[in-house]
Amino acid sequence: METILGSSVPVFVFLTVLVFGGCGVLTGQTLAEGWKPVSSVAAYSLLLGAGDRFLAWGLFGEQLLSPWGFIVHTLVIGLITFTAHRIAIARRMVNQYPWLYETVGPFGWRERNPARG
């Protein structure tokens, strides 16, 4: 498991999921507030993944240049960031244009149909 993660499981859970996942949530929400496209979510996720690998190496002595570690950690951070971005965009579309759109689950919206009410 540590070979795939590129770090120990406690370091992965604490640093990647909790710390950098939290940063990913804030990053996704901030990018959505500025109406930034999904491509910027990918770019910021790469930067967060690099920071995660650096801190895993600097604080916990994990391998710095672990390709699998970078890929797995960046994918997890990217999924968290993308999810936060999508939820924030959907919420913003419905809140900013309530006469045009209505909520369809946490990730989507649809055009409001006047006949439906």
Mean pLDDT of the chain: 93
pLDDT band at 98 (very low <50, low <70, confident <90, very high): very high
pLDDT band at 1 (very low <50, low <70, confident <90, very high): confident
**CA distance readout (Å), 112 to 31, 45, 46, 98, 105:** 26, 33, 37, 8, 14
50-93: per-residue pLDDT in tens?
999 999 999 999 988 889 999 999 999 999 999 999 999 999 99
Q: Maximum Cα–Cα distance for the chain, whole Å? A: 62
For residues 91-113, average pLDDT: 93
d(CA 20, CA 26): 10
Contacts of 25 (CB under 8 A, 6+ apart): 80, 81, 84
- Which pTM value belongs to this model? 0.90
Q: What is the pLDDT of residue 5?
A: 84
Q: What is the pLDDT of residue 87?
A: 97
Q: What is the pLDDT of residue 113?
A: 82
Could you list the beta-strand ranges (E) of 1-117: 101-104, 108-111
* Residue 112, φ and ψ in degrees, nearest 5: -75, 130
For residues 38-56, average pLDDT: 96
Contacts of 11 (CB under 8 A, 6+ apart): 56, 60, 62
Is pLDDT of 34 > 90?
yes
